[in-house]
Amino acid sequence: MLQRMKRLAFAGLSKLLVGLTGHGYDRSPATNDLHHKLSFRLFKLAPRFGIASEERIHFAAPIPFSLSYDARDGGVGHKFLMYREYEPNMTRVVNALIKPGMSIWNIGANLGYYTVLAARLSRGGRVTAFEPHPQNASRLRHNVRMNGLSNATVVEAALAAEGGSLTFYESESNTGDHRITAEGDRRGITVSALDASQAIEEYGSPQVIIMDVQGAEGVILRSLAPAMTASHPVLIFEFWPDGLASSGSSAQEVEDLLHALEYQVWRIDEYRSMLLRVEPGRIGRGMKAGEETNLLALPKGYALPAAIAKSWR
């Protein structure tokens, strides 16, 4: 009974924090800063409220599924614990685009939020989830099994410019922030790697690619360019100019590639909860140093689904 009361108190404090400072990113800079400071402090106090390191979250919409997660993780775990949701606008886009029977790649799958969501949405289709970090891949496999998914394949490898292996630099506080670039005193581990041709030969060409790889998106898109020229998959991916530059690519390279392949590009604006059309070559315009966003890139002639065709909040 006491344990339950503690957990209810934590949930109440989380809701109060959101109620007082706002849920989205449309706060004033000062309110936004206050929100994150208070959110971080409450998150750190979670063990005192009986929050275990291993937790489970259930999502009812857009389709029911559950995930096991680490409540001590400062990335995805923090968002699950504090807000009971994850990237609602990105989720809305994925939900609108994935149809039964589709082939989807989730590159940088982490613990499997988009893997499981896509597998549930693509009934009769196939999801291939690439996750190189051993602990993340283990939790990802667990979440696939827990949801009874027979149409999701976990590949414990990174997609890279060359197959074989590469050094992966770990974040101690955020399981979604492991990178291919060294920074500070991050520990490096060796992980398996596949190049695009190997991945396509083994797992087939995707119709949709969902990707978040902490700046390595440019290197992977460069590797996938020949296949993209032939198949033109839908792309949903993180766009982080600073991370792209440190990983051996650039924002300009990504923009040039999308322009050359005649993709239509939208910015999934989490700050204003809007889908904004942008022209290739102008995607990064107005972005501040260190800022990141998610992009939706559709092949020429591919109609934007009606569910997300209008700006929304």
What pLDDT is recorded for position 311?
63
Closest-CA residue to 2 (of 34, 50, 42): 50
User: What does the alpha-carbon distance between residue 139 and residue 144 come to, in Å, rounded to a whole number?
Assistant: 9
What pLDDT is recorded for position 180?
83
What pLDDT is recorded for position 201?
95
What pLDDT is recorded for position 280?
73
What pLDDT is recorded for position 57?
96
What pLDDT is recorded for position 295?
96
Give the torsion sign (CA, 157, 160, 164, 165).
negative
What pLDDT is recorded for position 257?
94
User: What does the alpha-carbon distance between residue 278 and residue 284 come to, in Å, rounded to a whole number?
Assistant: 9
What pLDDT is recorded for position 269?
82
Query: Over its length of 313 residues, how does the chain's per-residue pLDDT go in tens digits?
Result: 778 888 888 888 888 887 777 666 556 667 777 877 888 888 888 888 888 889 999 999 999 999 999 999 989 999 999 989 999 999 999 999 999 999 999 999 999 999 999 999 999 999 999 999 999 999 999 999 999 999 999 999 999 989 999 999 998 888 888 878 887 788 999 999 999 999 999 999 999 999 999 999 999 999 999 999 999 999 999 999 999 999 999 999 999 999 999 999 999 987 777 888 998 778 877 788 888 899 999 999 999 999 898 766 5
| pTM of the predicted structure, to 2 decimals | 0.94
What pLDDT is recorded for position 312?
64
